[in-house]
A and B are shown apart, each in its own frame.
Chain A
C-alpha cells in the first residue's frame, strides 16, 4: 500500500468553557468514554462539532490545500491528521511516516545547546538517531547558525530558534508531509529558502497536506483544495475554484453595521484577471441616508495582498474630489492601474469614518488575479522604470539628458 492520508466522514467535537471542574465531572465522563454507551446523545448541551463529516483522500503525487476562515476547523483537522486528536466518528488513516513542516521549536530546551537540541527535536519529530547524525551537517548548514551550534538555545534570537526548528523539520524525509503556515520563518531571504525547500519536497511526489491562509501558496503548491466553513467541507475542487469561492464568501460576509453610507455592490468592468501594469475598472454601488455628511464619512476602495494580507493601496471619494449625494443610491466608477507583481489580491470596499479614522463598515470585495505583464519586474511595485543608454567617452556626453525615472502613482 502506498503512502497517503484518508479521512472518511470524520467528526470531532469540543466542549465550550472549562473542561472539568472536579473529580465529580471526570469520573462519569471517563466511565462513559470507556464503556462507549450507545444510547448517549451525540452532543451534550455544552459541546459543538468543530469538524463535521470531513472526507478526503491524498495519495502519492497529490497535494491538498486546506483553506477557510478562522474557526473553520483547519487547526483541528491538522491535529487530527497528526494524531494529536482522535476523531469522535469516522475513520482517519495515515499510511507512512509523517513529517510536519511546522516552524516548531516546541521540543527545544533552552538550557541545551543547539547541537543537543537538534538530536532531541529530531527524535521528537520521529527521526532515527543515525539519520540525525547523517544529516546533522546539512541541518546546521540550512539553519545558518554553524557558529552558534554549541551555544545554549536560550541565548539564541527568536529568528535563530525558528530557523533551526525549520531546518530540522525540513530534513525528516517523511512519507507524508503535513505543512502548517510555516513561511513566517526568519527574514525574507530565509523565507525564500524555506519556501524553496517546501516546494522541492512537494514536488518529490509524496502526499502533501497544506493548511494555510496564504492563498497563493495553496495555488502554487497544491493540486486540489478544500474550502472549510463551520467545520464542514464547503467546496472540494481545484485551488483556484476554492480561492474564488472563498474570497466571494468573505465578500458576502460583512455588511450589517448601521451607518449613514453603505456599499451595496461592487463589480469589475471586465474579468477579474488583469495583466500586470494594465488598468482595471470597477463599479461601486453605494447608498447614502439623508443624514449623510461628506466631511465625516467616505467610501474606501483598497487593494490587499492575498498572500500576506498587507494593505497595499487605499483611496476614497474624498481624495478623488467626488462629492457624494444624500439619500440616494449611486454608482462610482473606479479605475486603477495594476502596478503589482503577479499574484492574488483582494479588492475591498468599505465605509471610512474620517473623524475617528477607522473603518465603520466593510462592503463587498473581490479577488483580483494579476498575471505577468509585458514588463516583468522584481519587487512588489511597478515603478515603470525608463532607461536609455549613452556611449561614454564622447566630448558632449555630459550634456546628454540623464536616465529618467517616471513614476505613475
Chain B
C-alpha cells in the first residue's frame, strides 16, 4: 500500500448551495430533536443548585433581594442629597428591574462556563452543543420564575396596579431571554477558546450594574446621559418593564420628564425596537457563530 510520504489530498469538500440561515436552521432542528436532552440538562442544573445547599429555594430570591437593598441604599443617598423622600414605588422599581438583572447575570455566569464545565461530554459524545448553554439559561429561568412569582405577590402591596400596559411584561421577558441566550451562546464558545473570558465576564457583570439602569433611571443622567445609557440593549428591556408594569405607560408612546427645567426623555419607542433588534439579531448571529465553530470544540477545548 501507500508509503508514509503524504500524497496531497485530491478531493475537497463539495461546495454547498447557499441557503439563508442554513446554520441557524440546522441548529434549531438539531436542538428540537434533542429537546429531551435539553430538558434533562436543565433539570440537572436546577437540581444541582438545590441539592446539598444551605439556602435551598431561598437562593432564587437571595440575589434579587440583595440587589433591592443595594439599590435602596443608593436611592436613599440620592434622596438625601436632593432633599427628597424615598418613595415606596422606588422599591417596586428596583425589585422589578433587579429580578431582570439577576436573571441576566445568573444566566450569563453559568452559560459562560457551561462548555468548559462539561468538557468530558464535549470531547466524548456528540449532541448539539447548544443545549449546554441553553440549559443553564433554562435553569436560571426557573430561578427567576420563582422571583417573578414573589414579585407578583409583593408588588400590589407597594401600590402597583394592573394596567393594560402590563401586557408588555411578557413581551419584554421574552426579549430578555432571547438577549441573554444570545450572549450566553457567544460567551460560552468564546470561553472555550480563551479561558480568561470567564474572568472578563465576571468583571463586566460586576460593574455592569452601573451602566444598566437598575438602581437609577436614564432621565436622572440628563438628556445626553440618558441617550448613552439607552444604547445598552438591556435599558430598553428593564426600563420598559418598569414603565409598563409600574407606571402603566404604553411603550409605543414617548415619555418625557422635566429635570431642572429641561425636558429629558424617559422613554423613546425606538428603545423597544433597538432592544428587539439586539435580541433577535444577536440570537441569529450568536446561533450561527456557535454552529460554525462547534466542530472545532473537541479539538480546541
- Other-chain contact of A82, B10, B125, B299 (Cβ < 8 Å): B125
Docked complex Cα distance between A119 and B42 (Å):
12
Inter-chain contacts of B51 with A (CB < 8 A): 111-112
A82 & B126 in contact (Cβ 8 Å cutoff): yes
Binds A, one of B1-9, B73-81, B107-115, B261-269: B1-9
Mask: chain B, 47-90; 1 = CB below 8 Å from A; 0 = not: 11001100000000000000000000000000000000000000
**Is there a chain A Cβ closer than 8 Å to B36's Cβ?**
yes
A19 & B44 in contact (Cβ 8 Å cutoff): no
A112 & B1 in contact (Cβ 8 Å cutoff): no
Known A-B contacts A11-B9, A109-B44, A109-B48; A34 and B125 likewise in contact (beta carbons under 8 Å) = no
**Is there a chain A Cβ closer than 8 Å to B123's Cβ?**
yes
B41 & A120 in contact (Cβ 8 Å cutoff): yes
Q: Closest CB of chain B to A101's CB: distance in Å?
A: 12
Q: Of residues 100 to 142 in A, which have CB atoms within 8 Å of B's CB atoms?
A: 100, 102, 104, 106-107, 109, 111-112, 116, 119-120, 123-129
Docked complex Cα distance between A314 and B7 (Å):
43
**Is there a chain B Cβ closer than 8 Å to A42's Cβ?**
yes
Q: Closest CB of chain B to A100's CB: distance in Å?
A: 7
Inter-chain contacts of A116 with B (CB < 8 A): 44, 47
- Other-chain contact of A235, B1, B10, B14, B120 (Cβ < 8 Å): B1
Q: Of residues 201 to 226 in B, which have CB atoms within 8 Å of A's CB atoms?
A: none
**Is there a chain B Cβ closer than 8 Å to A330's Cβ?**
no
Docked complex Cα distance between A82 and B12 (Å):
21
A106 & B298 in contact (Cβ 8 Å cutoff): no
Q: Of residues 103 to 138 in B, which have CB atoms within 8 Å of A's CB atoms?
A: 120-121, 123-127
**Is there a chain A Cβ closer than 8 Å to B170's Cβ?**
no
Q: Closest CB of chain A to B36's CB: distance in Å?
A: 5
A104 & B36 in contact (Cβ 8 Å cutoff): no
Number of A-B contacts (CB under 8 A): 104
**Is there a chain B Cβ closer than 8 Å to A370's Cβ?**
no
B11 & A111 in contact (Cβ 8 Å cutoff): no
Known A-B contacts A42-B8, A111-B52, A120-B41; A34 and B193 likewise in contact (beta carbons under 8 Å) = no
Q: Closest CB of chain A to B242's CB: distance in Å?
A: 38
B126 & A20 in contact (Cβ 8 Å cutoff): no
- Other-chain contact of B11, A20, A90, A106, A126 (Cβ < 8 Å): A90
**Is there a chain B Cβ closer than 8 Å to A163's Cβ?**
no
B300 & A19 in contact (Cβ 8 Å cutoff): yes
B299 & A124 in contact (Cβ 8 Å cutoff): no
A34 & B292 in contact (Cβ 8 Å cutoff): yes
Inter-chain contacts of A19 with B (CB < 8 A): 299-300
**Is there a chain A Cβ closer than 8 Å to B39's Cβ?**
yes
Known A-B contacts A9-B9, A53-B9, A89-B9; A126 and B292 likewise in contact (beta carbons under 8 Å) = no
A112 & B40 in contact (Cβ 8 Å cutoff): no
**Is there a chain B Cβ closer than 8 Å to A95's Cβ?**
no
Docked complex Cα distance between A20 and B121 (Å):
22
Known A-B contacts A26-B193, A116-B47; A232 and B1 likewise in contact (beta carbons under 8 Å) = yes
24 contacts between A and B (CB under 8 A): A14-B299, A20-B193, A33-B296, A52-B9, A53-B2, A82-B126, A83-B126, A84-B125, A85-B295, A89-B12, A89-B13, A90-B11, A100-B125, A104-B124, A106-B124, A107-B125, A111-B47, A111-B48, A111-B52, A116-B44, A116-B47, A123-B37, A126-B127, A127-B36
Interface residues of A (CB under 8 A from B): 9, 11, 14, 19-20, 23, 26, 30, 33-34, 42-43, 49, 52-53, 79, 82-91, 98, 100, 102, 104, 106-107, 109, 111-112, 116, 119-120, 123-129, 230, 232-235
Q: A26-B193, A123-B41 known; 14 other A-B pairs, CB under 8 Å?
A: A20-B194, A30-B293, A52-B9, A82-B126, A89-B11, A89-B12, A90-B13, A91-B14, A102-B124, A106-B125, A111-B52, A124-B121, A127-B36, A232-B2
